[in-house]
Amino acid sequence: MIRLDVEGISKRFIRRLLFKELSFTLEGGRSLAITGSNGSGKSTLLRIIAGVMTPNKGKVALTVDGIGLEGNERPLHVGFVAPYFNVYEGFSARENLDFVAKVRRIENPKDRIEEVFSLVSLQHRSEDLVKTYSSGMKQRLKLGVSILTNPPLLLLDEPTTTLDLAGIDIVRKVMKNQVDRGGLLIMATNNPEEVSWCDSSLSIEDFRKRTA
């Protein structure tokens, strides 16, 4: 059983308040879309949930099979796709996945790596350097990296950016696989169609008080 509890978190940068007392709970096999205007704090919220940024107030708890993943442990159990997260362009796609598998201590990762390449449709270019990839192919590789470990929580920040229709279908397949196996999925987007792909939505604007 996987569960995410976001309890009363607030985040500000100097005097600029992004959101205040934001709370929600998400349980395994469910998905949530985070919406809000550009610069409203969607990406910041995802970073806080991932455990790579701290809120000014409140807490985030990710629980897997009754075990709370605290501190530096939480980011190791989160898959994250975002425009500001890059892959190693001087490596081949396979070398990128091999590196992640080694860092995450995946035992006998060969079969899983091949499965991921097939899922993101990069098996025919797996040995090529990433710097030779199109922007859409790089985005698909980021998706592959994010799901390599079958993470309990998958965070997608504007995941269809630069993707063609085939790439968008891959994103939808990745999302479906995540929830079908009982994982959690959170996507930041302002695209109404993409919002409809999730079970529920949350507007970050509802947790901002401009006078604060």
pTM of this prediction?
0.94
Strand duo 31-35 + 16-27: pairing: unpaired
Contact 141, 71 (CB under 8 A): no
Per-residue pLDDT of the chain (212 residues; tens, 9 = 90+): 999 999 999 999 888 889 999 999 999 999 999 999 888 899 999 999 999 999 999 999 999 999 999 888 899 899 999 888 889 999 999 999 999 999 888 888 999 999 999 999 999 999 999 999 999 999 999 999 999 999 999 999 999 988 999 999 999 999 999 999 999 999 999 999 999 999 999 999 999 864 44
Q: How far apart are CA 69 and CA 65, in angstroms?
A: 10
Residue 129, H or E segment: none
Hey, what domains does the chain have and what are their CATH numbers?
2-207 (3.40.50.300)
